[in-house]
Each structure stands twice: as structure tokens, then as C-alpha cells.
Chain A
């Protein structure tokens, strides 16, 4: 077992445990903290794959901004322990077969595409941050400008939604 594989196993186990804990925890703030564990371990996996820029953005935007927003909202609304009703059991009965079917489809797709991916693999060590910036401002410049408009719309929407009615 190479050191990389060991690190991968540790980070993968950490992220799966975090996702499981998100499901099993009863209090929203505990779920949010588990989700932060998942995001940080995914950032570690990105570093392992040599995607330093994506790892940094993952930590700063997901772990830093989005999760802080979630925790703020949980505290602001004073969210308590979840309550379960009969309808929740119905969701469970309907949800288990659907989730199993989805997992089966994904597993089948991975099984079919795995060899093709390995065959197409080429180990071109690309300087990731410089390459991403070149691509972002050359090939993807129109989508990039559109995302800035999207963020502006999101800011306006959040302000309009959250302001108190007169």
C-alpha cells in the first residue's frame, strides 16, 4: 500500500463517516458540523489529486462561507431537534427502494465506464492554477461573466427575501 493510497483511504473514510453522521444526527447544528468534516476531507482529496486551487476554493467558499451561512441561519432560527410524523415513515418506505435503485444504476454505470476512463488516462502533469486561470479568462470568459451576474441576482434576491414586511 503506497502512502497516497493510505491517505486516500483515511480521507475517504472520514468523508463517508461525516455523510453518515449528517444523516444520523438529530440536531441540525450537528449535521452542519458533520458536513464541514465532509468538505474538509474532500479538500484533502483534491490536494491528493493535485488540484490545489480547487482545494483552496473548497475550503474558503464551502467550509468558510456557505457553512458559516448555514450555521448562522440555524442559530438565527433557533432550530431544535427534528420531529418525525407518520408521513416521515411513508417517506422512508418509498425512499429506500428508490435510493437502492439509484445506487444500482450508478454502480452499473461506473462498472461499464471504468475501463474506458483508465484507457483514456494520460499523465499530463499540468500546472493547475495557471492553467485554470488561462482557461477561465480565455475559453470560459462568457460563462465567467454570467456567473458574476448570477451572484448579483442572488444578492438582490437574498436582500428582498430577508427584509421584514412593513
Chain B
């Protein structure tokens, strides 16, 4: 039914993960850094679904659901923290957010 080798999906997942790491290291805006974490989670999800399809088992897709739930919870709390720090420091630059305490 499916003619695409699993390796293609794994390579795409690795490329996306690498781009996420690059964005995480290079970007200076705290919101964009947070978005690059989501990109890495998405890349890992792609690998999970690819393995699930290759093995003919559904465990991988169930794990993807859990990852999505955790990502949603993380996004809510993380964005709350970002709003708080931005309000306290009047800046979204990561280099101005180098102390936990104001």
C-alpha cells in the first residue's frame, strides 16, 4: 500500500530536528525559541509515526498523542512565563532574561 521507504521519513525527521536545534541556538526572541522547541517535538512525532507504520503497530501513534498533550500543556505554562517575564523586563530578547529573579 505504501511505497515510501521508512528511511525517507527518518531523514526528513532528522532534518527538521536539526533545523529546530539551529533555530533554538540562533534565534534571540524568546517566543521564537519556544516555537523551535515545538518544531523539534514535531520532528520526533514524525519519526514515531514512521516507525509505527513500518512495524505495523499502533504504539507509536499513541505515544504521539501523549507528546501532543504534553506539548499543549508545556505551551500554556511556557507562554504564561513568557508573558510574565516580558511584563517585568519590557523585552523579549533572551539576553535580557539572564536572571531568574528580577
Q: Which residues of A contact B (CB under 8 A)?
A: 2, 4-5, 8, 12, 15-16, 19-20, 22-23, 28, 31-32, 35, 38-39, 42, 45-46, 48-51, 53-54, 57-58, 61-62, 65-66, 69-70, 73-74, 76-77, 79, 82-85, 87-88, 91-92, 94-95, 98-99, 102-103, 106-107, 110, 114, 117-118, 120-126, 128, 131-132, 135-136, 139-140, 143, 147, 150-151, 153-155, 157-158, 161-162
Contacts and interface: CB of A to CB of B under 8 A. Distances in A.
Nearest to A72: B79
B65 A57 contact: yes
Interface string B54-67: 11111101101110
Contact of B16 (A16, A128, A161): A16
Contacts, number: 234
Contacts of A2: 3
Given A50-B2, A95-B25, A135-B62, A22 B32 contact: yes
| Most chain B beta carbons < 10 A, residue from A76, A77, A103 | A77
Given A22-B36, A23-B19, A54-B61, A61 B72 contact: yes
Contact of A28 (B17, B29, B58): B29
8 contacts: A45-B12, A57-B68, A77-B31, A99-B18, A131-B58, A140-B66, A153-B73, A162-B83
Contacts of B38: 35, 62, 66
Contact of B35 (A32, A87, A99, A131): A32
Nearest to A110: B10
Interface of B: 1-12, 14-23, 25-29, 31-32, 34-36, 38-39, 42, 45-46, 49-59, 61-62, 64-66, 68-77, 79-84, 86, 92-93, 95
Contact of A22 (B21, B23, B66, B80): B23
Contacts of A122: 55-56
A85 B49 contact: no
B58 A82 contact: no
Given A35-B38, A140-B62, A50 B1 contact: yes
A106 B61 contact: no
B48 to A, nearest CB: 9
A162 to B, nearest CB: 5
